[in-house]
Structure 1
Amino acid sequence: MARKSYLLFAFLLAMIIRTQAQQQPLPVILDTDIAGDYDDVGALTLLHAFADKGEARILAVISSNAFETTVPTISVLNTYFNKPHIPVGITRKSAPNESCPQQWAQAIIAKYPHNLTGNAQAEEAVALYRRILAQQPDHSVTIITIGFFTNLAGLLASKADAYSALNGRQLVKQKVKQLVSMATSLPVGKTTGREYNVYIDAPAAQTVLAQWETPVTLSPFEVGEQVRTGIPLIKDKSIQHSPVKDAFAIALAKDKDTIGRMSWDQTAVFAAIRGITPWFNSRKLNLRIEKDGSNTLIPGTRFTYLELTGSQAKKLQQEIEKLMHHQPAH
């Protein structure tokens, strides 16, 4: 009888510990190329919504794009969501430097408050990565990349410094739980593909996807392509004075888009925080990144590769759209 009571107690204790662990906010660093497209705005909105719901803790937002609006745009959104003091970083390289053709970034920077008014006010990307990672428990941080691999390649190549005696690869292996990335493409029936986040800085993508030593989940082009969002957001009259709504309204109008923007970046954030099941299907595979930034399917199981059925895409679209309507508490 005593043994049965002990086993029951041990089981209940394990369930309590597991539940508490599941309820802990997931520590996240978001790496974005925000400006070239506006799905990044939706993705950062999702991350703030998850943070406000207690599902995520935003450690830093870092830009892999040197374009002049990136840091002020991040600052606008962090300020809007009542988190202006989240550390912000940016690459100090001159490229990638991808502009904002629809001018939505310039519009929200001019209209909304922000405390970082230029890229020079943000920390250098690799130094910020090293500082943040060194402070975290082992195997705890989820890194979400929704842009280029520029910063992560720099992190892997980094040397020991004042923040950590570990080099970049050692620091990643010790502190990072998983990498979730919006990247790569494999059209149905094909063994090769080419995707923007990879080919813009192909050498960086080659380095990261060959050398990264934690679990990697890829949300490819074909997943986000099926999830269209933004039209209900811009039609929601209850949302006023919102840089998120403004960005989508301006960009959708410029693009003459009446069905909603493809939600590539939002799918990566969603998968990182909410998990794969039941929202996505997945398979294990390996990819080689070619010099031109294309990717080729090769034998192996290094990556978890997300896929969507039509019914999953519809449900995911509804959930992402709802999260994109999230507004800060006032």
Structure 2
Amino acid sequence: MSYKQTLLLLCLFTVNIVFAQKPKPVAVIFDTDIAGDYDDVGAMALLHAFADKGEAKILATISSNAFETTAPTISVINTYFGRPEIPIGITKKDKPNKDCAQQWAQAIIAKYPHNIKSNTQAIEAVSLYRKILATQPDTSVTIISVGFFTNLADLLASPADKYSKLSGIQLVKKKVKKLVSMAAGIGPDGKTFSEYNVNVDAASSQKVFSNWPTPVILSGFEIGEKILTGITLINNQSIQNSPVKDAFKIALTKDKNTVGRNSWDETAVLTAIRGPKPYFSYRKLNMHIKDDGTDLVIPGERFLYLQFVRQPDEIAKAIESLMMHLPNKKP
């Protein structure tokens, strides 16, 4: 065999190894309360950026918030990133219903194309969860929750239906690999905290924290609080006609915020798709949710709780770079 032939075989062998080792995209159901805050928009931008990079596959996007802009807002973001076909679900309960006081959601709905014009056109959340999960391989789905636990509690309590003979908790245990959630927090006392995503629907939070049958990763309040993003995004003149940029610009301007928005929800997406390294590590703990939604750290190892490894400013740069990702051009 000649030198050139040997070199060619080595190159082909190396290429085959690289392709063989390439990880599969993370299959994701994204559950959000998008409206009351706009870090959800940043989180969706990250998720679509990862999908464009082949690192994530978005199975469904679901709202835990009944406010009228939520399903259309999700549709705007999915459409902007070239994925208008992603199923959209929403809780059909009257509450939680948290509005968009800064009007950024109303603005991007009025400006950008979207298929879902109202929440009534979206699929009921639990039905969509069950439909999607029933068709997926076992222990393959990562659920990212960056809102209230309403849908997840209802999913656990759901009975067998046309999609699956399994109960909700059985279906989750069979199909879900892990739950990654922006939720809870640890206060100055090292034990207690009252965090928005948990206390808005405290009863549902109690059910999920007590009964969720798969591994759970929590990005607590104090993690995203220290990571500020959005200023570089809104000052990037190469980004035009972007609902992501518009949402941040409108909200930051109304807040007279010149330092950036806390990146709570983005940290959950980053961790769910790429894992904690190099930015975070985990601490093992357990949590009890009180009736008022306050969380209490108790002994145990049930939850993996994020801790900083790198400085918040460094993490912010990585997150904002992904937030500024532009949609892949479709052929």
Q: Check whether TM > 0.5.
A: yes
Percent of pairs identical after alignment? 63
Q: What secondary structure is seen at the aligned counterpart in 2 of 1:72?
A: helix
**8 A Cα contact 2:228 2:313, kept in partner:** no
What secondary structure sits across from 2:28 in the alignment?
Answer: strand
Name the residue aligned to 1:182: 182
3-state SS of paired residue (1:23): coil
Provide the residue aligned with 2:240 in structure 1: 240
What secondary structure does 1:143 align onto?
strand
**Equivalent residues of 2:56, 2:273 under 8 A apart:** yes
Q: Find the counterpart in structure 2 of residue 159 from structure 1.
A: 159
Partner of 2:281: 281
- How far 1:161 sits from its partner (Å)? 0.5
Aligned residues, how many? 315
Mapped partners of 1:85, 1:127: distance in 2: 17
Determine whether 1:319 maps to 2:318. yes
Q: Does 1:46 align with 2:72?
A: no
User: Residue in 2 aligned with 1:229?
Assistant: 229
Within 2, Cα distance between the matches of 1:214 and 1:281? 19
| Displacement of 1:188 | 4.0
What is the Cα deviation at residue 175 of structure 1? 0.1
**What's the secondary structure of 1:95's corresponding residue?**
coil
Partners in 2 of 1:17 and 1:142 — Cα distance?
26
Give the partner amino acid of 2:230: G
Cα separation, 2, equivalents of 1:278 and 1:196: 27
**TM-score using structure 2 length:** 0.93
Structure 1 segment 65-84 matched on structure 2, within 5 A? 65-84=65-84
Per the TM alignment, residue 313 of structure 1 is displaced from its structure 2 partner at its CA by: 1.6
Q: Secondary structure at the match of 2:305?
A: strand
Check if 1:172 corresponds to 2:172. Answer: yes
Per the alignment, do residues 86 and 253 of structure 1 end up closer, same or farther by CA in structure 2, a change over 3 Å counting? Answer: same
**Aligned partners of 2:220, 2:264: CA distance in 1, in Å?**
8
- Structure 2 counterparts to residues 277-316 of structure 1, below 5 A: 277-309=277-309, 311-316=310-315
What SS does the aligned partner of 2:127 have? helix
Aligned-pair CA distance for 1:282: 1.4
Check whether the contact 1:46–1:269 (CA below 8 A) recurs between aligned residues.
yes
**Shift in Å at residue 275 of structure 1?**
0.2
Superposition deviation, residue 19 in structure 1: 6.9
Query: For the structure 1 residues 237 and 18, does the alpha-carbon distance in structure 2 shift closer, same or farther, using more than 3 Å as the test?
Result: closer
The CA distance in 2 between the partners of 1:20 and 1:66, in whole Å, is: 43
1:27 maps to 2:31: no
* Residue of structure 2 in register with 1:9 after alignment: none
Secondary structure, counterpart of 1:74 in structure 2: helix
Moved over 3 A (4+): 16-22
TM-score (normalised: structure 1): 0.93
